[in-house]
Structure 1
Amino acid sequence: MQRAAHQIPTKIHILKSQTKNTPRTTIMVMDYHFLVFSSLAAIIYGALRVSYSIWWKPKSLERKLKQQGITGTSYKPLLGDMKDFIKHITESWSKPINLNHQIAGRVDPFTLNIVQKYGNVAMFWFGKTPKVIIKDPELIQEVLSNKLGHFGKPPLNPLILILARGLTVLEGEKWAKHRKIINPAFHLEKLKGMLPAFGLSCSNMIAQWNEMVGPQGTCEVDAWPELQKLTMDAISRAAFGSSYEQGKKIFQLQKELILLVMEAMQTLYIPGFRFLPTKKNLRRKTLDREITSTLRGIIEEKQNAMRAGESRTDDLLGLLLQSNEHNNQSESTSSKKGDHGLTIEEVIEECKVFYVAGQETTSSFANMDDDSSSYAPRLARKSKTGSYASLWEG
């Protein structure tokens, strides 16, 4: 009996211990199974998402484009046609350029090859994204007019938006509103009024070149930087009139900003990296603030002078502010909410667009014109007299 009395508590103790541990063991086993199941589900879901993104979706887009009669290269996972693009560029730049106007093969040999191979409407792949090339003039006009708003603009790298957030990046109602206000400033008759400003800039450049001529009557001029200076001076005069000296300062600041942005875009884009206080990020922000501040000062000064009747409105900024004021007056009785003209911030962004759009295009066109004159001197001489017969010699 004594031995049994000693054994009973021991048994009871063991049973209690087992009773306490059993639910915990069961819960641990259930947690383990749930963790395994969740992990497998997450892996399968991730694999399906990746497969959809890099294969099913691109192939589906390719089929839809081909059903519409748009032919082109076949999709290659992840890279698309990047290897062929780099190959064509490398081959093109390894050879000297011919002295003629057949520059497409030099500037964009890959696109030229696609058009020649697949026609005026063709497609290629930029990574996972199909790109449609349109060479047909009627289709180009339809896309650019975009009257129904069916053609959206591709998403831009956030770094580009620091240059300008004006008409070129807007869509929908905002784009229509800005275009309605800006368009009158670019009517042909109003642009003719800017010709004296362009003529003055050209005269100043020629006078500087004459001063550079030595005793021998000749000198060597690096035309590209000179034409960039000409563009800066002409756009500044045409855009800001009497404030063109401040405009030239903006031009120089924006040129530096463009170089910094282009340098950043040539590297791998990491979301959020532009917010880090690196030396170049801080410089970009400083330049943007300085450009915005200078433009704000010019615009406010112009507005005050126009209200007092002390300023001419034949420069681009004056025409823009005048059109904006007319729009405000014509829609002052409108019942629609928010039916008003541009804010000063929006005017600032449109002024930035003037510079970004005009800087390289104008100087490049002038440089090409000089090159054309050197290719065909007889044509250059005849064009001065107004005779444009077929005298091409290149």
Structure 2
Amino acid sequence: MQCGDIGPCLHGEPKLQEKSMSSDIVRTGVIGCGGIAQHAHLPSILRNPKEQLVAVSDSFEDLARKIAVLNGLKETDAYADYRALLERKDIDAVTVCAWTGVHAEIVVAALQAGKHVLVEKPMAVTSDDARQMVQAADSTGRTLMIAYNHTYDLATEYVGRMLKTGELGDILYAEVFFCEDHGAWDAGAYRSTVRSATPVKPGTRPTDPYIQLLHYVHNFDSHVINLMRVLIGEPKGIEYAKWIPKSGLWAMLDYGTYKTFFKNVETGQRRFEKGIEIYGRNKRVRLDLAPPSQRYTPGVVTITDAQSQTVTTPMLEYRWPFELEHEHFSQCVLEGKQPLTNGHQALPDVVMAEDLARLALKQ
């Protein structure tokens, strides 16, 4: 996968950045050692020939030490304070897997310390925080990439090529969907997560309905918002949005010549359904993405001919999207190029989440 080329809204030459690498290896630290770090990012870093794991950090120091040793480091390479990790001169980049509420603080500090940054989605809670992150990346000349692993799925890339070549014909309608099953889809994988011996204190739930819904949209819909924008571009506006607690979020987006229906449904059933279906004048294509923790489950592309109704499912090469994501990050850092999901590209996701939350509460 080349930097800067997957879908209609990301075409064009990537912006060159100031190179800072003295070798062909990106020396990486990981900040936040929870489930997504353990089951996705750390294995991907260790498998990436262009990355070297150097240190880890977590506010639970015993957890950081356990994760360091389990991944071939020394206990002295584990830190309770991420600032101590950022002071190390032998670290070129960090992968941030901490709680979303502290993303802006950590990312800005890392960029100002001269580190390149890959940060887990969602980028930030508010667009103001996201803009601070983008400004820090621009002012320091360092790489900022948001970890939208589904965007790097080879099935997503396949659908992107279909759209760019016009194979579908004029788009008539699209649906973006995410049906949540309350965690049953990844319970097996995350059951093996290493945890701190220190009990986790329950956090204080926000009482503001807008903040509650904003967190909901970020946690469950940031992937499909970015996927939609990567594949079919920017909507002209949101015509309707409705949120029913414990049921889901629905919205209708205006794309000028067609509409896109956006749905997040909580069924309470053991199912996982995430993706996009695009109705073209010539063909209809449906992209079904796999649960991110299921390493050997590929995304599925289903194509239906509009006239004959013949259905085909192409056999695609499979690579775990998290590994492709880290390979893309290290390539962009080493070559001084902007990632596909850079800060400027991902900022509108945060803005759209805010708009969806505000409008849904008015209905």
Fold conserved between structures, TM > 0.5 = no
Q: What interval of TM-score do these two structures reach, taking the shorter chain for normalisation? A: under 0.3
TM-score, length-scaled by structure 1: 0.24
Higher-RCO chain (CA-CA 8 Å, sequence separation at least 6): 2
Q: Which has the higher strand share?
A: 2
TM-score, length-scaled by structure 2: 0.26
Question: Which is greater in Rg?
Answer: 1
